[in-house]
């Protein structure tokens, strides 16, 4: 992984490179670290992203980059099991997950993401907690799955330019130019999103499990801050990370993922910026 190569250079220079400090990855990693701190050994880390939000007036309107959505969902999904990183076909591992009210049950799928690339290494090896299994699954509605599947089958996810009446264009550029700009949708987005981790392990010889998550309502977020919950929950963690760095509360140098931060100062700041940390023992 490229960050490992950069880590030594950053440490030598005495500077900090915090990777992927958004909502997921970001808050999700920190929640996994919170749970791992309570355990003697970690068995599983399951990252779950659920959103029942809809955008009034649109059948297909991603709340983040359409390009990223298409790329992540159609590429093979990484998961970690028994000491090895493995790959799954796109749209693998479908199951119905029960998210906290008022979101409810949503279909979720394995998707390629950063959490399962770093959590087994840092929670398992660096912190010495172990990790037998780790994956990331996100809620995708039937309409989204159908649309993205068709795009993939037609090759409209390709970045290779093709000739269209004498003009060279990338199919993916055309596709991402058609849906509305996600930054313009906040005032028409309703319902809730929840992102968190289910961490299972052992404490004092007994099995324990925690679900720790953050949950934000789209309409309230727009009313309070002018953004959709999706956009706002990605931006806040970056701001908190910068504040903690300026305050000297980030003690590490080098390049590292969010799970290597002390979770307590970070989580304590979430309510100040309109977010939360919710949890229940499973």
CA distance 18 to 35: 20
Q: b/e for 38-65, b at 16 or more Cβ within 10 A?
A: ebeebbbbbbbbbbbbebeeeeebbbee
The token pair that represents 92 in the structure block? 């693998």
Distance between terminal CA atoms of the chain? 34
CA distances from 247 to 204, 233, 265 (A): 36, 22, 11
* pLDDT recorded at residue 103: 95
Local confidence pLDDT in tens for the 282 residues of the chain: 566 678 889 999 999 998 899 999 999 999 999 999 999 999 999 999 999 988 998 888 888 888 888 888 889 999 999 899 999 998 899 999 999 999 999 999 999 999 999 999 999 988 899 999 999 999 998 888 888 889 999 999 899 999 999 999 999 999 888 888 888 999 999 999 999 999 999 999 999 999 999 999 999 999 999 999 999 999 999 999 999 999 999 988 999 999 999 999 999 999 999 999 999 999
Q: Which fold has domain 42-215?
A: Dihydrodipicolinate Reductase; domain 2 (3.30.360)
Q: Is 148 exposed, middle or buried (0-12, 13-18, 19+ CB in 10 A)?
A: buried
pTM for this model (two decimals): 0.92
- Give the bridge partners for 149, in sequence order: none
Pairing status of strand 254-256 against strand 16-18: parallel
Query: Phi and psi (nearest 5°) for 28?
Result: -60, -45
């Amino acid at each position: 992984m490229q960050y490992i190569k950069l880590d030594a250079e950053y440490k030598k220079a005495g500077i900090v490179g915090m990777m992927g400090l958004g909502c997921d990855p970001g808050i999700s990693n920190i929640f996994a670290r919170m749970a791992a701190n309570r355990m003697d050994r970690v068995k599983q880390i399951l990252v779950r992203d659920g959103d029942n939000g809809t955008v009034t007036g649109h059948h297909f309107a991603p709340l983040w980059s359409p390009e990223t959505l298409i790329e992540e969902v159609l590429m093979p999904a990484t998961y970690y099991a028994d000491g090895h990183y493995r790959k799954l076909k796109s749209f693998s591992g479908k199951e119905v997950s029960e998210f906290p009210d008022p979101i409810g049950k949503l279909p979720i799928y394995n998707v390629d993401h950063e959490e399962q690339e770093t959590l087994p290494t840092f929670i398992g090896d660096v912190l010495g907690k172990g990790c037998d299994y780790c994956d990331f699954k996100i809620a995708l509605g039937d309409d989204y799955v159908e649309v993205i599947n068709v795009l993939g089958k037609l090759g409209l996810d390709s970045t290779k330019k093709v000739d269209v009446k004498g003009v060279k264009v990338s199919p993916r550029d055309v596709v991402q130019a058609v849906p509305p700009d996600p930054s313009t949708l906040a005032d028409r987005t309703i319902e809730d999103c929840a992102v968190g981790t289910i961490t299972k392990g052992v404490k004092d010889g007994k099995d324990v499990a925690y679900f720790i998550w953050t949950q934000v309502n789209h309409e309230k977020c727009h009313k309070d801050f002018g953004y959709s919950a999706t956009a706002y929950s990605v931006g806040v963690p970056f701001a908190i990370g910068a504040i903690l760095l300026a305050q000297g509360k980030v003690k590490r140098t080098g390049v590292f993922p969010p799970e290597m931060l002390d979770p307590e100062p970070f989580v304590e700041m979430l309510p100040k910026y309109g977010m939360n940390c919710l949890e229940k023992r499973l």
